[in-house]
Amino acid sequence: MALLEIENLNVTFNTRHGKVTALDSVSMHVNAGETLGVVGESGCGKSITALSVMGLIPMPPGRIAGGEIRLNGENLVTASDARMRQLRGAEVAMIFQEPMTSLNPVFTVGDQIAEAIMLHQNVSADRAFKDAVALLDRVGIPSPDSRARNYPHQLSGGMRQRVMIAMAVSCRPKVLIADEPTTALDVTVQAQIFDLLNEIQRDFGAAIIMITHDMGAISEMADRVAVMYAGRVIEEARADDVLDTPQHPYARGLISCIPALGKDDTELREIPGVVPPLHMLGAGCAFADRCDYAQERCRREKPALVNHGHHPAACHAVEEGRI
């Protein structure tokens, strides 16, 4: 049994366009000590998947319409709000992409971490603050004693992200979800944060779910990868397999967007076109409008996630050996 298993998760939202399917039979799992990369452009359902695990989908307008999310066998979809409050932070924790909006500007960072500790552990405020300072030290913040007394705006972006990580791991969660944790940071700081997450994982044995639009981050961090497109998982395998032999045209496109190492090629490549809005999804493959391999069948029939030789991919061209 995997530590966290998501099985056939369906999430719908009521919108002004009517009911849309944000997640369509999404399945993925992560084992203890492993990093699962969830990759795709924005609007593919990565963050909705993360929020579902955290029990933070706004309901309404959102609704989990089917499927299970099992943490150590316990189904979180049917867990009570009280149970989810217990689990959140203590067993599953999340690092959000923009620390400035998830840290409270009117409290010092030490107090905020201490607060998170006291929420789940029966310790004094003094003890919690000391633990917070130790955590700031652990995540590589210099002079943690005085930094603990700083407000978020007094820290650099990289330091704020370290504070978020300290807060997220303060109760030693089994599953740590990192949603685009380095998007706002420059490349050097980004690499430092990846190193830190890897170290923390070694120390604590946590499973990490790393959400990103960047295949480069996947190659740095992930053991396995689920590629998402328009609310579905369209390819899933070991990270090496996806990076070396991507199957789905979308996965191939994301990989061709990784800047070539050592090349003085700063031109940012992108896959032409955009993810279709959820209310515009038709009967066929959601990638058809952007796909060089699209044929008539693609517009009619949704491809299933099946292993056609290498590893699971949801594509008719792969199935038919046209690609």
User: Could you give the string, one character per residue 10-49, with x where binding to Mg ion holds by CB under 5 A and - elsewhere?
Assistant: -------------------------------------x--
Determine if 315 is a binding residue for ligand SF4 (CB under 6 A).
yes
CB atoms within 10 A of CB 259: 12
- Token digits of residue 63: 């609704």
Q: Output the six-digit token pair for 1.
A: 């049994």
Report CA Rg, the chain. 20
- Angstrom CA distances, 298 to 174, 243, 282, stand at 40, 24, 11
Cβ distance to ligand SF4 smaller for residue 22 or 315 = 315
Question: Which of Mg ion, ligand SF4, none lies near 303, with the C-beta cut-off 5 to 8 A by kind?
Answer: ligand SF4
With vertex at residue 296, the alpha carbon angle to CA 293 and CA 298, rounded to the nearest 5 degrees, is 60
Position among 37, 40, 173, 303 found at the interface with ligand SF4 (CB under 6 A) = 303
Convert residues 222-261 into a mask of x (bound to ligand SF4 by CB under 6 A) and - (unbound). --------------------------xx------------
Distance CA 57, CA 276 (A): 21
Q: Which does 293 bind (CB under 5 to 8 A by kind): ligand SF4, Mg ion, none?
A: ligand SF4
CB 217 within 8 A of CB 210: yes
CB of 302 to ligand SF4, least distance (A): 8
By CB under 6 A, tell whether 312 contacts ligand SF4: no
CB nearer to Mg ion: give 211 or 315.
211
* Among 9, 27, 11, CA closest to 278: 11
Name the residue nearer to ligand SF4 (CB basis): 187 or 283: 283
212 part of the interface to Mg ion, by CB under 5 A: no
Sheet containing 74-75, strands listed edge to edge, beginning at the edge strand earlier in sequence: 18-30, 4-15, 62-71, 74-75
Binding site for ligand SF4 (CB under 6 A): 248-249, 285, 287-288, 291, 293-294, 298, 303, 315-317
